[in-house]
Amino acid sequence: MRLLFMQKDTMVKVAVMLLSAVLKAEGHECEVLVESAERDMLRRARELRPDAVAFSCTTGIDGWVLRTAAEVKRAIGIPVVVGGPHPTFFPEMVREAGVDVVCRGEGEAALAELARSFDAGADGAGAANLWVKRDGEVVEGELRPLVEDLDALPFPDWRVYAARYRFMVPYYRGNFPVITSRGCPHRCSYCFNASYQELYREKGRYARRESPESVVRKLEEARDRYGLRRLNLVDDSIAASRSWLRELAPLYAERVALPFICNVRADTVDEESAALLREMGCYCARMGVESGNDRVREVILNKHVSERQIRDAAASIRGAGMKLMTYNIYGSPSETLEEALETLELNRALRVDFAQCSILQPYPGTRICEMAEELGAFEPPSAEAPLPRRGTASYFVSSPLALDRKREMMNLQKLTGLFIRLRVPRPMAERLIRLRADRLYSLLFKLEYAFFRFRLDLAETVPFLRFALRSKAYMS
């Protein structure tokens, strides 16, 4: 089978690379088309003559997926498969005109089985994890158990992107995404993990890690095969298991020895774990602060990490000689502007190198969405937006909620990083966020992020600029 993955922006998807690796190991062919890098994606899709088209779909991008799937169906008339987080929780999207198959949950075994079925002239109906539309009816497959042995999975297939989009190669050689674990055990209200845990109850061990030896072996091979220079470890919390990190650190330092950036959770970081990460080659740790206000962070967002833990973790990261980047969320249901300003002040006190600030998106199926509905926090329908929205494609642009002093809140989200770097006093910051300067502030937000990237890794400036010119939709 020849499978064509289609996506909107230029941000590579580890899931797509991994699925490609699994399918290619069974003798199938895979390619990727990226809309923002193509003049006419549908014309190019016809030229490639795939047997089926697949989309990896998150909530917020689902509208684009359904529109594009319908266009593909009209133009080419081949099977369309949709997988990823959104169809996992909303498999009924298989009933949409352009969709033939939905894959729920982990897709490696399911997509491989579907490919074999297509090759045999069948439609995959009855296969676990798959909902298949047949003659207007939907055949709902059971959910198969979780993949327990992550060591058995292949390394993601980088060539599926690199072969067609050469402009990606220099950038991702210095920023290659790697995942060594699956299943975050926490239940933050803004995240899908709580629902995912319920979906997979009694379907296997939820939080899993690849063994240190397997991680190192695969990274050695990928480094040499793809010429990787730096890695981006995108696990939810790389230091969640202290024993695992203790075993990994010396192996990685000796055999891989690539600098990397990673995600950590404040309640897993102390002087020992920070030292281990630095020993491995971590040059920047990204940590979720989410909110500087205890009520918003712990009650609304259900993130049970104290301010003391956040401050101690930041001190350990900086004390180990690593840069510190934080994730922050503005615009939670019932959050006041005064509470939001506490996020600015906490990041200022942490002396962060960069505070990445997003706008809360209350995606359907999350507890935060239910909370917003219970509070009546969504903006009422209007002539411009007659249908209720429960999240947008970008969490950097807008909010569907009716927030306290909304314009000021959105401006604060755009300007927090600049306020910290320029040491803008709070009274002046409060005056600036009252101004009507949406376009200017959006531009400053993007420039501040670019400036941080330059400071973080000056050697990768040119690849970053070339990549950014093709990635404008990411923050639009």
Please state the domain extents for the chain. 2-140, 166-475
Question: What is the reported pLDDT for 387?
Answer: 45
Q: In this predicted model, what pLDDT tens digit does every residue of 455-476 receive, in sequence order?
A: 887 656 677 777 777 665 544 4
Residue type, 238: I
Greatest alpha-carbon pair distance for the chain in Å reads: 69
Question: What is the reported pLDDT for 60?
Answer: 86
- Tell if the pTM clears 0.75, that is, is over it: yes
Band of pLDDT at residue 454, cut at 50, 70 and 90: confident
Spatial distance between the Cα atoms of 57 and 73, rounded to a whole number of angstroms: 17
Which CATH number does 166-475 carry?
3.80.30.20
Q: Is 394 a residue whose pLDDT tops 50?
A: yes
CB burial class (10 A; 0-12, 13-18, 19+) of residue 159?
middle
Q: In this predicted model, what pLDDT tens digit does every residue of 194-239 receive, in sequence order?
A: 899 999 999 999 999 999 999 999 999 999 999 999 999 999 999 9
What DSSP state is assigned to residue 391?
A: -
Average pLDDT, the chain: 93
Q: Minimal CA–CA distance to 290: which of 231, 350, 376, 208? A: 350
| CA torsion, ordered 145, 146, 149, 155, to nearest 10 deg | 130
Sign of CA dihedral 189, 108, 243, 317: negative
Of residues 59 and 31, more confidence is placed in: 31
Spatial distance between the Cα atoms of 179 and 185, rounded to a whole number of angstroms: 16
Are 377 and 349 contacting, i.e. CB atoms less than 8 angstroms apart? no
Question: What is the reported pLDDT for 88?
Answer: 96
Could you give the angle at which helices 41-48 and 62-75 cross, rounded to 10 degrees?
50
Copy the structure tokens of residue 276. 């281990």
Question: What is the reported pLDDT for 386?
Answer: 45
Q: In this predicted model, what pLDDT tens digit does every residue of 295-334 receive, in sequence order?
A: 999 999 999 999 999 999 999 999 999 999 999 999 999 9
Band of pLDDT at residue 398, cut at 50, 70 and 90: confident
2-140: which CATH topology? Rossmann fold (3.40.50)
Question: What is the reported pLDDT for 391?
Answer: 57
Q: Is 267 a residue whose pLDDT tops 80?
A: yes
